[in-house]
Amino acid sequence: MYEFAIAWEWLAFAVRWLHVITAIAWIGSSFYFIALDLGLVKRDHLPVGAYGEEWQVHGGGFYHIQKYLVAPATMPEHLTWFKWESYATWLSGFAMLCLVYYGGADLFLIDRHVLDISATTAIAISIGSLAIGWIFYDLLCKSPLGKNTWTLMGILYVALVLMAWGYTQVFTGRAAFLHLGAFTATIMSANVFFIIMPNQRVVVADLIAGRTPDPKYGVIAKQRSLHNNYLTLPVIFFMLSNHYPLAFATAYNWVIAALVFLMGVTIRHWFNTTHARKGRPTWTWIVTLIIFIAIMWLSTVPKVLTGEDKAEVAPAFQQFAANAHFPAVKDAISTRCSMCHSAEPVYEGINRAPKGVMLENDAEIASHAREIYIQAGRSHAMPPGNITDMTNDERKLVTAWFESAVSEGKTE
Ligand code: HEC
């Protein structure tokens, strides 16, 4: 059923489209509110219970916003909630995790040179780590250690670095970075779902009942949204990093990840300070630049293959290597693709296998069958600009190879 591979590809695209849109909505509204919050000005004429106000101009009109802490005296008639931006981002992100990493576990999640585990074990570790991460974080925030903002942030940082290291010991570098992003984003979304929203509902119930809401709810929400504020940029880095093998597939990838979390703080600090009208701390950009250069430098350390060499074809892909078309496909790949897609590319200007995709031996070609089919069989995305003159017959061959191997695999 090759139709399945095509539908899968489109489904992955659709879910990615959705995920990016919801993430824009979530991060956009969250950045907006952080900036608004920091920019609020206290004035004498403010109504009772109002903490500050701000004037803004946008889209052909002026906005006059006032913030009430913890709530106004009575329940307003209309109240807009911000929660689906966050939930939809998490749900679509989890759907992508399932499609790309659970669906393609043998290729994207598991690296048998790192840890030889089954797809089921890998998926269990993945889901388990996300759940445990939230529980640990939440208990930590509620514990006495959570009372001091900076102690708490320090412990959280150490925990994130440990996770970065841990994930690289279990998964492919690509999956490790993606999981670090998902781990952090799960904490952020769970903050909204389990803490911020329920607390806001308590406050609303108090208002309706005519009780004065407890200010502690505002304080808790503030702590959690402070964490979300500093975690946002690293999460986006990790989500995008799977396009940049130098970040995720080099020897010190976990150290790079640790530095990325620091950049999240230094960059956000500049914006937070500026939005609070407390000056423009240029030093944060200098520190950010130094960290970035350190990351680039770390990524040049070559990764050495550890463990035994596993060049034999993994069971999940044997049907592609056993197919009758395989020898001819292998020939086509070595003349049209391997000059770029190898451990040491010979193509001028390409220094590393693009996207970490190597197509040299049977195991590598068989395991990338679906990608080869989509990139060079069904579409003409590869070779780029058909620079190596791949012929129509070779593309037909690649298509026939994948489609017949898939249908043979099904009839077994
Ligand atoms: C001239 C060098 C070159 C040749 C030849 C080449 N590729 Fe690529 N390939 C690239 C580059 C560069 C990228 C990364 C493109 C990007 O960043 O989107 C890439 C990406 C890929 C990817 C990963 C796509 C993704 O989005 O994850 C696959 C799979 C791939 N190529 C397969 C092939 C196949 C199959 C052939 C031969 C038919 C081939 N390539 C020939 C340079 C090449």
Ramachandran angles phi, psi of 102, nearest 5°: -80, -45
Q: Which of 134, 116, 138, 150 is nearest to 185 (CA)?
A: 134
* Rounded Cα gap, residues 73 and 83, in angstroms: 23
Q: Which of 277, 296, 278, 269 is nearest to 153 (CA)?
A: 269
Atom 25 (ligand 1) nearest CA: 355
134, 224 Cβ separation under 8 angstroms:
no
Task: Please give the distance, rounded to the nearest whole angstrom, from the Cα atom of residue 355 to the centre of ligand 1.
Answer: 8
Task: Please give the distance, rounded to the nearest whole angstrom, from the Cα atom of residue 297 to the centre of ligand 1.
Answer: 25
* Rounded Cα gap, residues 366 and 373, in angstroms: 11
Q: Which of 302, 323, 301, 303 is nearest to 313 (CA)?
A: 323
Written as one letter, the residue type at 226 is L
Residue with tokens 């803004």: 56
Question: What CA–CA distances, in Å, run from 92 to 17, 197, 241?
Answer: 9, 20, 18
Q: Which of 296, 299, 238 is nearest to 264 (CA)?
A: 238
pLDDT at 390: 94
Show the ligand 1 pocket: residues with CB < 6 angstroms.
Answer: 333, 336-337, 339-341, 347, 350, 354-355, 357, 368, 371-372, 375-376, 382-384, 387-388, 390
Q: In testing the pocket of ligand 1, which one of 100, 340, 390 has its CB within 8 Å of the most ligand atoms?
A: 340
405, 323 Cβ separation under 8 angstroms:
yes
Residue with tokens 């010979």: 346
Kindly report, residue by residue over 166-186, the tens digit of the pLDDT.
Answer: 999 999 999 999 999 999 999
Written as one letter, the residue type at 130 is L
Atom 33 (ligand 1) nearest CA: 382
pLDDT (tens, 9 = 90+) of the chain, 412 residues, equals 788 889 999 999 999 999 999 999 999 999 999 999 999 999 888 888 888 999 999 999 999 999 988 788 888 889 999 999 999 999 999 999 999 999 988 888 998 888 999 999 999 999 999 999 999 999 999 999 988 888 999 999 999 999 999 999 999 999 999 999 999 999 999 999 999 999 999 989 998 888 888 888 888 888 898 899 999 999 999 999 988 888 998 889 999 999 999 999 999 999 999 999 899 999 999 999 999 999 999 998 877 765 555 567 888 889 999 999 999 999 999 999 999 999 888 888 888 888 888 999 999 999 999 999 999 999 999 999 999 999 999 999 999 999 999 988 765 4
* Rounded Cα gap, residues 371 and 402, in angstroms: 10
Atom 23 (ligand 1) nearest CA: 355
pLDDT at 300: 87
Residue with tokens 């608004």: 36
pLDDT at 412: 47
* Rounded Cα gap, residues 13 and 282, in angstroms: 39
184, 160 Cβ separation under 8 angstroms:
yes
* Rounded Cα gap, residues 222 and 196, in angstroms: 9
